Structure 1
Amino acid sequence: MSPRNTSLEVFLHGRHIGVLTGSGLRMSFRYDPDVIAEYGAASILLSLSLPIDRKKIDGPAVYNYFDGLLPEGQVRSHLAAENGLSTPDALGLLAILGADCAGAVQALPSGMTPDAPVDSQLMSADEVVRVVEALPTWDLPEDFAITASLGGIQSKVLLSRRRNGWAWPARGTVSTHIIKPEPLDSPVPHLIAAEDWALKVAAAAGLPAAKAHVEMFGSREAIVVTRYDRTPDGDRLHQEDFTQALALASTSKYETSTAPPSRLTQLAKAAGPHTRDDREFRRTLLRSVTFNLVIGNGDAHSKNYSMLIRDGGELELAPLYDLAPTLLLYAPSNNAGHVVGGQSRLNYLTLEHVVREGVAWGMEAGDAQATAIAVLESVERAAATVPAREEIGFLGELVTARAGDLLNGGTARRAIAGQAPVTP
């Protein structure tokens, strides 16, 4: 299969903002003249990595941003094969999936507009179960076409919640929820229950976090997550993840080099001028990093942090999502995702590393320390009170102990003395 030459019309909040052209790994994007005139060159509208420019924008930043809207791994390979495309053909895949993406961006074939989306198709309970049970492949009714996309490697389905049940988001319809079943081949046991628990601990600790609950769909247990980039009225909120903001490929979502400046330092300094309060933005980011450390999240990479982009280019950190204490469920999951204070291994990170990282962003040492300590103390209380299911019941005691370890200046333990190891 060879990449297809094509072009796509790009919309933001339903407004045409530019044209995406190219083939294969080469893409170009040009902003509309009226958008340039209204917002001005160098303004942030679509992405921190793609400021408005009067000239056509070429280079890897374009491909990495738009490719970052697409799923990864087995899901992407399956969708490409189903549509006769090569896996790297981001343009071809977006032509099929770009009607409903993360944030408020839509990429549509020429001649199509988002002005009059097809009504969502109400699904029977059996149809919903059939779709969820079939993941990571698809078993869809004949009149259900996949036209929505979300980044990430986990198998998921995007649906719209209606008063009378679930609906399939037909082309251009806003999806409102993400349904992720327990992975069939993950080495991490009880991942869905643990993610649900971690999100509730974050909320109890006073941190903004996506809302979710666990539900059975036939034989598959799944977490149902309310999309934070959608309003209760079904409008889109624009956002991008850190790989897109830093013009990184999705395949580079884990930071591998410890050479300064760290990836988080680059992000904090690039985003700061576009925030309402750059000091509070850094505090919020440090709170998120501290939380992922204390719960042992080995999947806190650059696709699992995002920013909301308000009209006019104001940036703010998105709520926490895709949280899971993977290290505490599967010992090899020891990668922090980002380098923090020169260290990228969860087993070796301490409060000192977190403070050092905050200082690298421009925070005062006392501010960074107070911010991190406040999170650890809040999590210490929350983890002890948020109930967990029996199979992951040990997490409350363990995360509470980990918070104490970090507050005392040490590394955080991975198990409670005498606790039996977790098995899939």
Structure 2
Amino acid sequence: MTRQLLVFVDGVRAGVLGCDVRSSTFRYDRPYLARRTPTPLSLSLPVGPREYGPEAVEPFLWGLLPDNAETLRRWALDARPQADEHNPFTLLQHYGLDCAGAVQFVRPENEATFERHGGLSRLSDTQIGAQIRAMNADPSRWTFDDRDGRFSLGGAQAKFGLLREDDAWALPTGATPTTHIVKPGIPEFRGSAVNEHVCLTLAARLGLVAARSRIDRFDGETAVVVERYDRLRLAEARPPERSARGLRRIHQEDFCQALSVMPSQKYEDDGGPGLGRMAALLRRQLPRDEAQRAIERLLLGVAFNWLIAAPDAHAKNYSVLLSGRQIALAPLYDIATLTPYDRYRPERMRLAQKVAGTYRPAEIGGLGWRTEAAARDLDPDRFGDRITELVAAAPDHIRALCSDPALRAMDPEFVDDLRAALLDRVAAAAAALR
């Protein structure tokens, strides 16, 4: 027997997800195909009349779910007996009303009413702090146990979604979107929330497009709060977006989803997409001039991760925004440096993707960046100059960021360590460019 979920993109029914004992399938609805510029569910699932099989569908579905086996096990137990931790369909029928991008998964019997069933549950700092403490004790606890909010966020790090409205925090329920992602940090990496905020803000100050973040303290617990770039506030809700609370979902997917690669293969060393495959996708999907700009932005993002010695910039940490036939590279997100931690060894550290044939930042200098730029059909000298500008500008921004009184109030000793470690790494990068 085949079970079904209705798939909505940007509030419009796009197709039907089917699941039997063996696999998942997806087919676009005819009315959706007849729209002037329908947004694809994924670049790996182009808009058309065919039925897509599990080889294309399941990498996309798994990419919407936590990359954390214990979290999936907990979710399946919470939704038993209908959910199976090894079946993304069964998980998304419970946790698929608010995902990355504009996709929503709706049970057929709820189609007529699901948009009316959204709401908010206001949260105090004490309640949010309690959730952060619970997550620090058990990183599989991504949801509030006593609340009925149901969202799904990808990635391995513990996090949860909230909505910011009228200068207060709330947990959305039903179809209401979240607007922010709260990440308490990784317990074994001291100050990791501060680390991520500093790195994202540094990227933005250096002229890169990065997700906006802030550091907050909830009942004494520190977290980085990242504004969702896949949510847009509207002056008023209006069709066809069918937005909730004046919010519109913007569709997006990561490069693993776009290339039909399972999340378990997100690192290039594990068979995942490297810069060559990612750049080739952009060239296939975009006009030449737009592709050139997007590939330069992508390569600059990788260069920033090299500059700060961030090891986790795999293909799931780069995404594209989708709207009709339009495609754009998403802002940078999920960036943190390894430099302030004991396990950082400059000569042994590896990046998530190869640059000019090597994973090791210590082996990448000016020639390496020009070689990589040329391989991606970019002007090597122009790109090399851009890298030099990034490196030269970084120290002043690092000092300014780490002198911010509000940031220092979180953990002044760690902020000092972070500043010193980043400045040392930038000095090494500058030397490598000479």
Shared topology, TM-score over 0.5? yes
Determine whether 1:103 maps to 2:101.
yes
Query: Could you state the TM-score of these two structures normalised by the residue count of structure 2?
Result: 0.85
Q: 1:229 to 1:24 in 2, by over 3 A?
A: farther
Q: Deviations over 1:322-362 (max 9, x none)?
A: 11002442326933111222112334333333332222222
Determine whether 1:249 maps to 2:272.
no
Which residue, 13, 16, 19 being the options, matches 1:19?
16
> Structure 2 CA distance, aligned partners of 1:267 and 1:229?
20
Q: Counterpart of 2:408?
A: none
| RMSD of aligned alpha carbons | 2.5
Determine whether 1:76 maps to 2:72.
yes
> Structure 1 CA distance, aligned partners of 2:8 and 2:429?
46
Determine whether 1:379 maps to 2:394.
yes
Q: Counterpart of 2:306?
A: 293
Q: 1:126 to 1:328 in 2, by over 3 A?
A: closer
| Residue identity in the other structure for 1:77 | R
Contact 1:13 1:104 in 2 (8 A): yes
Q: Counterpart of 2:238?
A: none
Give 1:257 shift: 6.1
> Structure 2 CA distance, aligned partners of 1:160 and 1:224?
11
> Structure 2 CA distance, aligned partners of 1:71 and 1:166?
23
SS at match of 1:70: coil
Query: Could you state the TM-score of these two structures normalised by the residue count of structure 1?
Result: 0.87
Contact 1:71 1:152 in 2 (8 A): yes
| Residue identity in the other structure for 1:47 | S
Contact 1:265 1:357 in 2 (8 A): no
> Structure 2 CA distance, aligned partners of 1:168 and 1:125?
12
Give 1:397 shift: 4.1
Q: Counterpart of 1:128?
A: 128
Give 1:57 shift: 0.9
Which residue, 301, 326, 329 being the options, matches 2:338?
326
Give 1:267 shift: 1.3
Q: Deviations over 1:61-103 (max 9, x none)?
A: 2100011111121322221222233322100100011100001
| Residue identity in the other structure for 1:392 | V
Which residue, 379, 384, 388 being the options, matches 1:364?
379
| Residue identity in the other structure for 2:301 | S
SS at match of 2:5: strand
SS at match of 1:38: coil
Contact 1:215 1:224 in 2 (8 A): yes
Which residue, 183, 186, 198 being the options, matches 1:183?
186
More helix as a share of residues: 2
Give the number of aligned pairs. Answer: 400
Determine whether 1:270 maps to 2:281.
yes
Which range moves more in the overlay, 277-286 or 326-335? 326-335
> Structure 2 CA distance, aligned partners of 1:372 and 1:116?
50
SS at match of 1:45: coil
Which residue, 4, 22, 46 being the options, matches 1:7?
4
**Percent of aligned positions that are identical:** 29
Q: Counterpart of 1:235?
A: 248
Name stretches of at least 5 consecutive residues in structure 2 with no aligned partner. Answer: 235-246, 404-411
> Structure 2 CA distance, aligned partners of 1:279 and 1:33?
35
Counting only pairs closer than 5 Å after superposition, residues 121-200 of structure 1 correspond to structure 2 as 121-135=121-135, 136=139, 137=141, 140=144, 142=146, 144-163=147-166, 165-184=168-187, 186=188, 188-200=189-201
> Structure 1 CA distance, aligned partners of 2:89 and 2:21?
7
Contact 1:201 1:383 in 2 (8 A): yes
> Structure 2 CA distance, aligned partners of 1:189 and 1:271?
37
Contact 1:26 1:60 in 2 (8 A): no
| Residue identity in the other structure for 1:200 | T
Name stretches of at least 5 consecutive residues in structure 1 with no aligned partner. Answer: 412-424
> Structure 2 CA distance, aligned partners of 1:247 and 1:138?
26
Give 1:141 shift: 6.0
